Amino acid sequence: MIDFHVHIGGISRTRNPAVHDLTAQQLVERMDREGIEKSVLLPLESPEAITGWFLTEDAIAARDMYPERLIAFLSLDPRNMKLEEPFDMFVQDYGCKGFGELKNGLAFDDERHQAIYAKCNEYGLPLVFHSDPTLCYDEVGLPALESMLRKYENCFFCGHGPGFWAAISADDDRSGGYPKEPIEPGGAIDRLLGEYENLYAIFDAGSGYNAMTRDPEFTKAFIERHHAKLLFGTDYLRAFQELPQVDWLGGLDIPLEWKQEMARGNAERLLGLAEQD
Ligand SMILES: [Zn+2]
């Protein structure tokens, strides 16, 4: 399996003793226990993302300790000056394989975001984004996402977060959260996954897991339509965190081929790993 969404480093900044930041070693030991071969490290470099920071440099250092197990993405806050320079450096000199996590208080199609999408488009990179009512936000039907999918065809948008997954249902009102009701067919992400080659969805964190389990009948058909566009992920960032996505995927009654695509095949393709094997 390839986990498309993990964080390590000093991201908590809290006195709460129940909350522990992860080290690279803790992450790899947990991967061993869960049967996860590789994980994608997503730096968090925007103040709205979490209370502390996980810098791109720290993702690269961890990747260099476990080059067979960890893959480093780069992240930059879109409000950074001269964003293009470090972007090129992290891709060309340090081998970062994608961008993310994009998680900040700007609109999804903000000009400052578009500078990042343009760079991913230039290199053909995957971009992991978080969507919520106030984070990389969009409107009902996800028109901003759709226009970016159309404009940056060579940027592979990988969606995650309550605001993204709520749009699996046609009754999405952009309030996000973790709706438990059965899914109303005709949701925006169902349509967009079918229409745009460069949109993927990560069934990670509480939101992805909730979306995949709230209406099992719907999910069966959803997987049938989109198994080539779904990515396994956890959003693992704290010790002792439960990772229900592992057992859920393992227990799914679907063709093995689809399961393999969702567990690693789709990720390998996006990360350029397939041609290396
Ligand atoms: Zn995350």
What would the DSSP string read from start to end of 200-220?
Answer: EEEE-HHHHHHHHHS-HHHHH
Q: What is the pLDDT of residue 215?
A: 97
Q: What is the pLDDT of residue 275?
A: 65
In sequence order, what are the residues at sequence separation of 6 or more whose Cβ sits closer than 8 angstroms to the Cβ of residue 39?
A: 2, 3, 6, 27, 31, 69, 70, 71, 236
Beta bridge partners of 126: 156
Q: For residue 102, how far is its CA from the centre of ligand 1 (angstroms)?
A: 9
Query: What's the CATH number where 115 sits?
Result: 3.20.20.140
Cα 149 to Cα 75: distance, rounded to the nearest angstrom: 20
Q: What is the pLDDT of residue 77?
A: 97
Q: For residue 186, how far is its CA from the centre of ligand 1 (angstroms)?
A: 27
User: Tell me, what DSSP letter sits at residue 275?
Assistant: G
**pLDDT < 70 regions, the chain:** 17-19, 275-277
Q: For residue 56, how far is its CA from the centre of ligand 1 (angstroms)?
A: 14
The total of structural domains in the chain comes to 1
Q: Sheet containing 126-130: give its strands across.
A: 99-102, 126-130, 156-160, 199-203, 230-232
Q: What is the pLDDT of residue 18?
A: 58
Q: For residue 51, how far is its CA from the centre of ligand 1 (angstroms)?
A: 13
Residue numbers of the domain that contains 200: 2-276
Q: What is the pLDDT of residue 51?
A: 85
**15: exposed, middle or buried (C-beta count within 10 Å: 0-12, 13-18, 19+)?**
exposed
Strand locations in the chain (E): 2-6, 38-41, 70-72, 99-102, 126-130, 156-160, 199-203, 230-232
Q: For residue 258, how far is its CA from the centre of ligand 1 (angstroms)?
A: 25
Q: For residue 194, how far is its CA from the centre of ligand 1 (angstroms)?
A: 25
Q: What is the pLDDT of residue 138?
A: 97
Please state, as a whole number, how many other Cβ atoms lie within 10 Å of the Cβ of residue 66: 17
Its sign, for the CA torsion 152, 156, 160, 166, is positive
**23-52 per-position pLDDT tens digit:** 999 999 999 999 999 999 999 999 999 888
pTM: 0.96
Q: What is the pLDDT of residue 238?
A: 87
